Amino acid sequence: MQIDRAELNDAASVMQLITLCVGHMRARRICQWDEIYPNLQVVEDGARSESLFVIRQEGLCVATVCLNDI
């Protein structure tokens, strides 16, 4: 497993993870995230500000975390 700062080219993989998480959360009636937030712009901003990290396993993005004070 490897932890890296996300780059803009990681945005699609991060959005796929977010989409899966939203589905999982909704199935449990957790409405914290939706189609509006988090979105691609938020992910790209996190990559640009170097606050978004991706966890890779065998080269694939398997998790992500954003560390900021927002």
pLDDT tens across 30-53, in order?
Answer: 999 988 999 999 999 999 999 999
CA distance 53 to 34: 21
For the chain, the domains span 2-66
Which tokens is 28 given? 């449990």
Predicted confidence (pLDDT) at residue 16 exceeds the cutoff of 90: yes
Which class is domain 2-66?
Answer: alpha beta
- The answer to whether residues 61 and 13 touch, using CB atoms and an 8 Å cutoff, is yes
> What integer pLDDT is reported at residue 15 of this predicted model?
97
